[in-house]
A and B are shown apart, each in its own frame.
Chain A
């Protein structure tokens, strides 16, 4: 009972806050779009972190799963947009159908995650990376040549249904799910796999099953992120899902600290806003838009440079594997907290010692 209430708490806080933000930003479309871009990137980074950070498997094809969700969700919404759910007012009906597209898009992406993950998660390190990269590219090429998905031009006319509220609600969901996985015994199994797969197996962790599961969960949320993306872009083009996009997400989680959900969030926000900030600064300084226009082109080299600097100064990333909620004032009491080292070493004579 208490668990349920605690589980719902983030949403009880998030829903009114997001609703208020939605109302407040009604006149600032630029700000809204920016927040949606940030939100989608957070969902991508936090979900990829479950695989790369928590489980220690190096997947670099996240954009492929995002594409699956974007196209499936987009097509579904286009098809259903002519219909409404009769007993609901139009706005509500639209949002229900939108939610359905997101879930279906996520589910299909998860299915792809399962199909790709089952055979390839037996591979390690570089090999897995290559397979996931290949998968991402295959998806893009297939989409680019499919009539249903609009070929290279992309899928146009996807109803614009993403709102600040719905996008950020998805963000809250993925963060809560990631935190819950991390804190569960499931999460402990993932950490064990990351640390030492053979030892994890010796402990009785079903390593294959756990790796596939984390891959499926991550793919699901990548698919949902794709759906959210599709419903504010209105046009879904294959060029949005190249390996550059995958790399962008990888950079985010590496910069944030592999294994840290908070790190992924902070890095996703920062790296999404960086080009925007740069654009504004350049525009203000130079006065004309020519240089500001180039920001998009120098974005990846900039990320690369940032990553190199970060690896030199702080190889574990911004947060390492730590979380904001485990630090300082955020620290919560752990339910069965182990006795402190002080109290146990204070009575060394209490237990019979076999060895000294």
Chain B
């Protein structure tokens, strides 16, 4: 009953034109008035955002702003208290991850979350867990190795023995194994050397060019705004600003608050 009400709210939200002057592609994901709380702690208080078909959308914000909570609600790892989430216009709020993965949702969780005691190959196989087209899976595995040749060299190696950068590469490659249309990435640059970050972001661009939409959560605002078509700024559970990556990079508040200038 609430979800029916929520979905109408979503469609009206999607119908209102975006404040940004640049035209955005039709929404693949759209989130409206999302509330999330952990017991007594409220993490999100009315977050609305959207990811257009083929877009890279960045979500930036300070520690504890609610970025991870947003991704977790979108990918079905937690149920929102209130609000709507639609994928392709279909309401998905409250549906579990295992129902959303087949719809094209892939989530590379915060802290990489790779299976440390399994091999690189086994990690990739688990990425395609819900698929049964053997040949397609092998083809995608090859694609992953083409994107990240270092993983190919280490395919039999235990994932726990990979370097931090390689683990992050594996996390991305594994997320791609489900053939997602929407890729949710939670701080892929965390703890990595600038060179490795550059590598990963180059690949994210390449992946995006193949038609995968990306919702990117980042602490590193400069980096995120650099690649994003559109970006949102989250502060204590609310979106306080949005615009194209370039526009936000140019605003004083962003420069002061997130770029330390």
Contact = CB atoms under 8 A, between A and B. Distances in A.
Contacts of A321: 117
A356 B149 CA distance: 8
A353 B143 CA distance: 10
25 contacts: A188-B125, A192-B115, A195-B115, A196-B114, A196-B115, A198-B77, A199-B114, A199-B115, A200-B126, A202-B75, A202-B101, A202-B106, A202-B175, A203-B126, A204-B101, A204-B129, A205-B98, A344-B152, A348-B149, A351-B145, A351-B146, A352-B146, A354-B146, A354-B147, A355-B199
A296 interface: no
Contacts of A185: 129
A3 B23 CA distance: 57
What DSSP secondary structure best describes chain B's contact surface? helix
B148 interface: yes
Contacts of B149: 348, 351, 353, 355-356
Contact of B203 (A199, A203, A348, A354): A354
Contact of B118 (A195, A205, A355): A195
Interface of A: 185, 188-189, 191-192, 195-196, 198-206, 321, 336, 338, 341, 344-345, 348, 351-356
Contact of A204 (B98, B147, B148): B98
Contact of B109 (A191, A202, A206): A202
B228 interface: no
Contacts of A206: 96, 98
A355 B148 contact: yes
Contacts of B203: 354-355
Given A204-B178, A355-B148, A341 B129 contact: no
B88 interface: no
B142 to A, nearest CB: 7
Contacts, number: 96
A346 to B, nearest CB: 11
B45 interface: no
A202 B100 CA distance: 9
A198 B130 contact: no
Interface in B102-120: 102, 106-109, 113-118
A256 B227 CA distance: 51
Contact of B113 (A189, A198, A356): A198
Most chain A CB inside 10 Å of its own CB: which residue of B77, B98, B101, B114? B98
Interface in B23-40: none
Nearest to B128: A203
Nearest to A209: B98
B20 interface: no
A203 B155 contact: no
A204 B134 CA distance: 17
Given A188-B129, A345-B152, A345-B153, A203 B199 contact: no
A202 B97 contact: yes
Interface in B51-101: 75, 77, 96-98, 100-101
Contacts of B117: 195, 321
A157 to B, nearest CB: 49
Contact of B126 (A192, A351, A355, A356): A192
B245 interface: no
A273 to B, nearest CB: 31
Contacts of A189: 129
B156 interface: yes
A82 B162 CA distance: 66
Most chain A CB inside 10 Å of its own CB: which residue of B115, B134, B142, B146? B115
A236 B238 CA distance: 63
Interface string B116-145: 111001100111011000100000001001
Contacts of B175: 202
A263 to B, nearest CB: 15
A150 B82 CA distance: 54
B202 interface: yes
B118 A353 contact: no
A197 to B, nearest CB: 9
A203 B174 CA distance: 9
Contacts of B18: none
Given A201-B77, A204-B97, A205-B129, A354 B114 contact: no
